[in-house]
């Protein structure tokens, strides 16, 4: 029997707020964190909206001098992780630093550091490139900085599977704890790609919404017939995972059990999901098997629900394949409708929301779902959240490259 793995701390920075409490309040209000892009001039851009993190002060979490060595995606991850460790109530001697690990997801790295370096390279030559360019740019610098900040001396590494990165990181943390190589893992995901290159790159593959530039709060509309693309967002989410015995020994509060993880690859297309959603369905089944659960035991699914023409009906199809008759009974929602698509960080942010939904007995809404696509015919909790008993939740992340990652959380005994 594998030892239970539990969640004992959480932290987040995202378009809905700079903490778990602010984020959950935004969910309860059904509030959109989407607005017009303020970082750069969007005159020549087809999509002019995003989920920016507003009024973020890294000095509230770490020394500003140290933060200058970090790109924004790392700052978000460090801030969320400091919050999560504080929330976990770690005291001196509670955890052996050599058995404290960091597993963190990220899709792209320090895009703004790369763009700044290119500008200096092309305008002034190679000697103008800042010496911190590479340390800011590369994806592993986020878990490295988290480890330095929180003195985690165990394994520390990045998982990069596009939009599934945060979810896969949490799944890898689960496996690391089951392996016996760590007692506690700081895990989650982060992203900050609302830059000229980031938005341009997603624009040219027609992935972003362009129809609602003048009404940004209405733009992310998963499963709606008028959806036309996802909304790029930024931020981070961190969970503190530890073995149940370790958590109980130190008297920790326990939010939930991380009961199951499933991961597959469609091996089909670089950007499009499998046309029958088979890879995603298989990942759901693997997660259920890992948790030792039946589909009927899942009360809520936090869907990937990107608001793209392709994803939403195929995810619907994959849920039907994996859940059978229960697909029409389980409540499903896409909280991206409120916080946008945080790419490598989205699975971690959504895992936090899923855990809170279970603890608070509240099914989050899918806002902006005004007229469902006929191909999206399940219960997506349209526009207004619903109170109810939730004993187990599934959180889905489906990434470019055909990466499918699924987590299952259930109430701790």
What string of H, E and C letters represents the secondary structure of the chain?
Answer: CCCCEEEEEEEEEECCECCHHHHHHHHHHCCCCCEECCCCCCCCCCCCEEECCCCCCHHHCCCHHHHCCCCHHHHHHHHHHHHHHHHCCCCCCCCCHHHEEEEEEECCCCHHHHHHHHHHHHHHCHHHCCCCHHHHHCCCHHHHHHHHHHCCCCCEEEECCHHHHHHHHHHHHHHHHHHCCCCEEEEEEEECCCCHHHHHHHHHCCCECCCCCCCHHHCCCCCECCCCCECEECEEEEEEEEEHHHHHHCCCCCCEEEEEEEEEECCCCCCCCCCCCHHHHHHHHHHHHHHCCCHHHCCEEECCCCCCCCHHHHHHHHHHHHHHHHHHCCEEECCHHHHCECHHHHHHHHHHHHHHHHHHCEECCECCCCCECCCCCCCCCECCCEECCCCEEEEEEEECCCEEEEEEEECCC
Q: Which of 304, 339, 376, 403 is catalytic?
A: 304
Q: Is 341 a catalytic residue?
A: yes
Q: Which of the residues 163, 246, 376, 403 is marked catalytic?
A: 163
CA distances from 400 to 8, 50, 70, 148, 230 (A): 31, 19, 26, 31, 13
Given the DSSP bridges, would you call strands 156-159 and 100-106 parallel, antiparallel or unpaired? parallel
- Catalytic site residue from 18, 274, 339, 341: 341
Cα end-to-end span (Å), the chain? 16
Say if CB 358 and CB 387 are below 8 A apart: no
Contacts of 354 (CB under 8 A, 6+ apart): 300, 302, 393, 394, 395, 407, 409
Catalytic residue status for 130: no
* Known active-site residue 339: no
Nearest CA among 40, 291, 341, 342 for reference residue 178: 291
User: Catalytic positions, please?
Assistant: 163, 304, 341
């Amino acid at each position: 029997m594998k030892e239970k793995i539990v969640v004992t701390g959480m932290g987040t920075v995202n378009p809905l707020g700079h903490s778990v409490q602010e984020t959950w309040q935004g969910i309860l209000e059904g509030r959109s964190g989407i607005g017009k892009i303020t970082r750069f001039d969007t005159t020549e851009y087809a999509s002019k909206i995003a989920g920016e993190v507003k009024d973020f002060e890294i000095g509230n979490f770490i020394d500003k001098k140290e933060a200058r060595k970090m790109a924004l995606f790392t700052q978000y991850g460090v801030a969320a992780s400091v919050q999560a460790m504080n929330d976990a109530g770690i005291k001196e001697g509670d955890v052996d630093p050599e058995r404290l690990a960091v597993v963190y997801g990220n899709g792209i790295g320090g895009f703004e550091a790369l763009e700044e370096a290119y500008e200096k390279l092309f305008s002034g030559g190679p000697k103008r490139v800042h010496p911190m360019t590479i340390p800011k740019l590369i994806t592993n610098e986020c878990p490295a900085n988290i480890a330095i900040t929180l003195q985690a001396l165990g394994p520390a590494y990045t998982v990069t599977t596009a939009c599934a990165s945060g979810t896969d990181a949490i799944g890898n943390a689960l496996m690391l704890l089951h392996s016996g190589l760590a007692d506690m893992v700081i895990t989650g995901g982060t992203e900050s790609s609302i830059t000229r290159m980031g938005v341009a790159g997603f624009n040219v593959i027609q992935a972003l919404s362009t129809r609602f530039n003048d009404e940004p709060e209405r733009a992310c509309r998963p499963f709606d017939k008028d959806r036309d693309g996802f909304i790029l967002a930024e931020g981070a989410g961190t969970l503190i995972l530890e073995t149940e015995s370790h958590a109980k020994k130190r008297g920790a509060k326990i939010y939930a059990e991380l009961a199951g993880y499933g991961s597959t690859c469609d091996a089909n297309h670089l950007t499009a999901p499998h046309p029958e959603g088979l890879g995603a369905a298989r990942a759901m089944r693997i997660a259920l098997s890992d948790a030792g659960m039946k589909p009927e035991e899942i009360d809520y699914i936090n869907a990937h629900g990107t608001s793209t023409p392709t994803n939403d009906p195929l995810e619907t199809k994959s849920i039907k394949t994996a859940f059978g008759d229960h697909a029409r009974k389980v409540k499903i929602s896409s909280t991206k409708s409120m916080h946008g698509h945080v790419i490598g960080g989205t699975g971690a942010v959504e895992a936090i929301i899923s855990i809170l939904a279970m603890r608070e007995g509240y099914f989050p809404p899918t806002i902006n779902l005004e007229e469902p696509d006929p191909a999206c015919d399940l219960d997506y909790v349209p526009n207004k959240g619903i109170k109810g008993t939730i004993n187990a939740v599934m959180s889905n992340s489906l990434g470019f490259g055909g990466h499918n990652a699924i987590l299952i959380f259930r109430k701790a005994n």
